Structure 1
């Protein structure tokens, strides 16, 4: 603590020379001049440290005892500021810097969003801008609680939100809604039919009556499990107990065959850069864009735009709302060129595989055969796949379907 006090008030290292320098120390003690760090050089010389405010009194006391007092070194804040006494530009810069720190600390410089996964950060930041939370806004003017409540009303998919002001950072913490599981309505009755043609390989009926057996070939829409069950009476009785309707349920696996096609032109247009390019510079300050190219437009018919952004950041890595952007516009012409057949075929195969996986869902591919054909300026690839998948699809009865419609 004493070191901090000495730094703020400043200190001076003095060298005292005379016949009796110890008398000088006695006078300083008698007159209330504090000193420390006494260093004896020889019989008539010593060094001490005194407060900057006691420098003149120390020299006057030295004259009384016929000692010469010389200043060796000045330390502390006053000595540092004294260096700017005649450097007006540096003094003005220091003053402006201190004022900038004091003023800018009251404004929001960055907005941080965390806790979101499905809801995009861009959507949350966009709504925050509409609520007045953005880089450059006056921080004390933000009501964190009201902003958080309004954000919940504007952004679907959020269940909780908190806005915390940490200096120049507006920290937004969110929690997303947990979707309710889909409820199965057991009151809706119906059948299970085939959603794709195939050869039944495995049949497991949980509710209802099987309409097919293993080894049967079915078509799309054909009945697999009936939800209308006939109830048989006693073995030797003649009583007919009639029919009972249930919600058919079960798993029906079958071998299926799927055919998919994809095509691509054998000729494509490629870019050929002309060598013409222009650079467009802009500055983004506190969320406001300042263009240095005025209203000049881009005269090229076809061009690429390459954007480079340099963002100012603090030593800790925190980005500041100040960035310089250069957009390089390069003109090009397009010329026809033949497509690499092998690469095109590989691309189409990958697309067919992805489409097949989307159709199968949890099913599996047993075997796949690809054929390709180049004709009429196009390359066509056909995929014929044998698969194993669950083909059952629940269909409500006609009267049940009408009751469930909104």
Structure 2
């Protein structure tokens, strides 16, 4: 099998030899290292055999010393195939160009479909897609991947709750979920407002209901703040108590801040690497070798190549290597204390309502130990502590 492939690669020729002394001629060929095979006799003075093309070029030199005539019956193998292809190179080049054009057109954006969006929102989406270079006629290989498009549309268009982006063949399909208009306030059942945590009343704004506490009163969790029972004795009615009752609450936070911190930053250097993947085999086409920098972060974008509606086992990869370096920051004691307070405030805000206000903070304990500033901080927070609670049945009776 191996010899057949070698013979095909270098070419082989079927030779016809006629005349007297054929046997001596064949013996002379083999003595000089010319390989022949498939020798067949046709009558007493004619034989045919196969030999390599490189040996066939020398055979006439040996035929001159014998009374033999030589003719070549058939030629086969790679050299003759290439020769025929070159002879018909116009057809070959045309066929290659045709396949190349089809391949390119199969990887161009030919459609963008948007579903679930109002006309105004669809107009915004198409404008944003233009900024991202997602346009009809643009080559898919040079457009951001589906996840990146989806993320940027969601971040840049405020009216979107969610957008799904899917690439099918040469068309991008976008499924949109818009933010809904605020619902009308629902009709509340009769209720009281009670304290959701222990606090000192700082401010009040009662829309409906009867306040039963005053500013500076100390209240416990679950204590009644605004009653939903209004009117004079004997002429009362039940309503849904609504409003805001702002209370002062307290937190103590323990925080530690190192005086020396290490962090990594990008320094602006980067390297682009472009490759083709044939299955799992990577073939670099640009950006060879390792980057000059040792510390870096890699971001790889892989795009599938399509031919008409079929996905080929070929992918184009664009990898960006961004250099980063480790930085050391040294805080003074004052800076470390300020940083620790900021971290403590961030932690406190994660534990209270969004509209809560930090009224005051006071450092209760401060020390430097093992290269760290250690603080215990007391915070005063003003927060709406009122929550609705259905009026007890015994009150209604």
TM-score under structure 1 normalisation? 0.42
